[in-house]
Amino acid sequence: MSKVLVTGGAGFIGSNLSRMLLDEGNEVILYDNLSSGYRENVPALPDAKFIEGDIRNASLLTEVMRDTDTVFHLAASVGNARSIAYPIEDSEINVIGTLRVLEAARAQGVRKIVFSSSAGIFGELKSLPIREDHPVEPNSPYGASKLAAEKMCLAYAQLYELEAVCLRYFNVYGINQRYDAYGNVIPIFAHRMLRGEALTVFGDGEQTRDFINVGDVAKANLQASQTRSVSGAFNIASGSAITVNRLIELMSAAGEISPVVEYGPLRSGDVRHSRADVSAAREAFGFQPSVKLEEGLSEYMLWSKSAAAS
């Protein structure tokens, strides 16, 4: 059994990962300031220890990392739109916060850090599918701050006895993902569909996205942590893509709801097409996405209906 720390452990991905870590027999510490995490996710993880704290709190971070083997660093300010509205806060959390995590990990002799990065580091795409060596030209403060945090993690892996794996998530969805106006398109659409509200699509809806279920993302984190002598940055995605218009059709079928769809202007910072090459993660630590989109959306719509009724 290993002692592990999950920053952002009360959040969407963090809570799913923490459940998997507990099921694997680990001692799990959830560390979250609840700014975007949800307190209601904590009671569902009764075997984990919850500490309410900010990743910019150096002394508290160092204290809670004592005797920790692995740190899963998920706490972040997330999303292009939020970063454009609040660029200073975005970098304070994503860059300085990550440095605080790295310094605490170094001080306490942590063996490995698994950092949650983003496909937002790439910016407008020049070729598909996207490989890890695709040019990185982020077009939002969020993409820039995630790229800076990645580079810090990998620099620490070069300088100190610390392995660092940066996982570049594409469009993650799944249970425990609640509505957030700044967030992923799937919970926004589900929220509006269940309330009988029109869906707003930015552009013509023919833009494509690579959606990956949170269960596969949690598994990627676990596999990356368990594979020794691996550091680097890896794409974590399904490896396939669909249009936003097709996504609406699948969600409508899964939820048995026929929403009104309205089209608006494109948003700043959005890319036109996105699809990842995940072969590097498969070769490095055995990552293989397994949840089909139709299956994952059915599970998510059922969960969303239950969450909305509670």
Q: Which residues are catalytic?
A: 142
Phi, then psi, of 71 in degrees rounded to 5:
-115, 125
Return d(Cα 214, Cα 74) in angstroms, integer. Answer: 13
**Distance of alpha carbon 278 from alpha carbon 286, whole angstroms:** 10
Sign of CA dihedral 16, 21, 25, 29: negative
Counting beta carbons within 10 angstroms of the beta carbon of residue 182, is it exposed (0 to 12), middle (13 to 18) or buried (19 or more)?
middle
CA distances from 105 to 112, 147, 205 (A): 8, 20, 43
The rounded distance, in Å, linking the Cα atoms of 258 and 251 is 9
Residues facing residue 261 across a β-bridge: 199
What one-letter code names the amino acid at 123? G
In whole angstroms, what is the distance from residue 216 CA to residue 145 CA?
25
Buried b (16+ CB within 10 A) or exposed e, 224-249: bbeeeebbbbbbbbbbbbbbbeebbe
Half-sphere exposure (Cβ direction) of 258: Cα atoms closer than 13 Å: 0
Cis bond upstream, residue 129 (ω within 30) = yes
